[in-house]
Amino acid sequence: MKQYYPDRHCLTTMRLIITAAVVIILWAVRYFIPIEKIVMLSIVVVISIACFEMFVHLPMFFNSISYSATETEVTKSSGVFIKVHQSVRYSSIQYTTRISSPLSQYTGFNFIIFFVYGGQLRLLFLKRSDADEIIRLSGSISVKED
């Protein structure tokens, strides 16, 4: 059995994306809202939410995710407040979708979705090498990279 964990690069990428989104929102608030008090309140609220997300929730979320793969099945464990364990046998996989962003080896945006009878198992924020390995373990033959 082999354990897989989310790519830590992804946490940095997510923080950068959230920071960019916050900057855009704050610019829009300052530009479109003329009332100073509302602007200040919005800035405080937006920055608080972003800080909570970047430094509390996301690290906890990333720490909570782990995947274990054997020769016959893959198990996902996740959940910050409620732990969820989901297992899927490779033999029940009907088809597989893999989603990768550009430069996914640096961003850590590699996702695999296993579609099985009656549902799906989503493996999120994997390292590219881990994603390749899991796809290969699951029995997909044509793992093409371009």
C-beta of residue 18 within 8 angstroms of C-beta of residue 54? yes
CB of 3 to other proteins, least distance (A): 24
Contact between 15 and other proteins per CB under 8 A:
no
Lay out the site mask for other proteins across 100-129 (x = CB under 8 A, - = otherwise).
xxx------------xxxxxx---------
Among 65, 93, 123, 134, binds other proteins (CB under 8 A): 93
Residue 31 contacts by C-beta under 8 Å, 6 or more apart in sequence?
none
Which one among 72, 87, 97, 105 touches other proteins, defined by CB under 8 A?
97
Are 88 and 102 spatial neighbours (Cβ–Cβ below 8 Å)?
Answer: no
Asked if 86 is part of the footprint of other proteins (rule: CB under 8 A), the reply reads no
Give per-residue burial for 125-142: e unless 16+ CB within 10 Å, then b. Answer: bbbbebbbbbbebbebee
Binding-site ranges for other proteins (CB under 8 A): 93-102, 115-120, 135, 139-142, 144, 146
